[in-house]
Amino acid sequence: MTGQDWLEKDFYGVLGVPKTADAAAVKKAYRTLARTHHPDANGGDAASEKRFKEVGEAYSVLSDPEKRQQYDAVRAMRSGARFTAGSGGPGGAGGAGFEDIFGGMFGAGSPGAGRGRAPGGQRRSSAGSAEFDDLLADLLGQQGGGFSGGSTRGPEKGGDLTATARVGFAAALRGTEVSVPVVDPTGGTRTVHARLPAGVADGQKVRVRGKGSRGSGGPGDVIVTVRVEGDDVFTWDGTSLRVSVPVTFAEAALGATVEVPTLDGVARLKVPAGTPSGRTFRLKGRGPAVRGVASDVLATVTVVVPQKLSDRAREAVETLRDAEGDADPRAGLLAAAEASREKASS
């Protein structure tokens, strides 16, 4: 990380804490954001991965007291300080000169020890260390010579904020607009409106541009994590609406036309005679429109066995059993299992 990074990046804004935040508050903010944006929890989302790295970078500086002090001093330069290599800094000889700010940061000595000299009188290499040189080169855009002028970098954009939106199953499929509370770094709460696209998935992230933390270069964004509620009837497989349709044994054996629920009403499905339990039928175009394209409904037939039988129904079932004779629906299964055991033992 270079000194220019420190000038450009608002680590307090990244973590969403004020500059007066203590170490505990910084650590708490980091842990919350790291859990939210960890790559393992976001399925390879590029924006989350980038945000995770930014959070880690900010914490690595603000969690270290020495680095944090250095960072605050460097950022203070950005507010308009000017420096020269001579003894007369801003405001004359009594003003805050170059080493007044950087001396304690990089061991360049104090004003009384002589600018740029070690305690023994030997001149330090490039104001104290290679690290110091690199920092100054980045900050001032110069190689050696007098130091004058501050950073020439442009205004800094504010940091991104996070929020969570909970939506119903049907609303997620059709797309909807939500209002979510967002906590500012100052601790205040405000409401942000976000448009969720049709077919938005549970855990998906939606970016609302220009609604994040304020910065001199404009506001950051708000990243909204979507949580989709489950449904008792329907599920969504990413392309089609799925539903389980119970039928009686007679309907499956003899065939029937049954009603199938959809998000827009009821569809009719013709179940052919001899349909086994678990067979899935496709109702084309009867699902919700996602991104302007109508989806399908996948209806899976489930044969329901009655818990209680009337005397008449029992007689009918017994008659069917007797009519089937020695038919064994498991004969093929048992033969296949026997063949598997013989193959395993050979």
Q: Which candidate, 139, 123, 122, 155, places its Cα nearest to that of 77?
A: 139
Pick the CATH number of 234-305 from 3.40.50.300, 2.60.40.1220, 3.30.470.10, 2.60.260.20: 2.60.260.20
Domain regions of the chain by residue span: 3-140, 161-228, 234-305
Q: Domain 3-140 falls in which CATH fold? A: Helix Hairpins (1.10.287)
Rounded to an integer, what distance in angstroms lies between the CA atom of residue 231 and that of residue 225? 19
What is the architecture of the domain spanning 161-228? Answer: Sandwich (2.60)
Per residue of the chain (346 residues), give pLDDT as tens.
555 677 778 889 999 999 899 999 988 988 888 888 877 677 667 888 888 888 888 888 899 888 888 888 887 776 554 444 344 444 443 444 444 444 444 444 444 444 444 444 444 443 344 444 455 444 544 433 444 444 456 688 888 999 999 999 999 988 999 999 998 877 788 899 999 998 888 999 999 999 988 888 889 999 999 999 999 999 998 889 999 999 999 999 999 999 999 998 999 999 999 999 999 999 999 998 887 788 999 999 999 998 899 999 999 988 988 888 888 888 889 889 988 988 888 7
User: 234-305: same fold as 3-140?
Assistant: no
Q: Which amino acid belongs to residue 140?
A: L
Please give the pLDDT value at position 92: 40
Helices 65-77 & 46-62, crossing angle to 10 degrees? 100
The whole-model pTM stands at: 0.49
Cβ distance 309 to 300 under 8 Å?
Answer: no
Cα(232)–Cα(245) distance, rounded to whole angstroms? Answer: 13
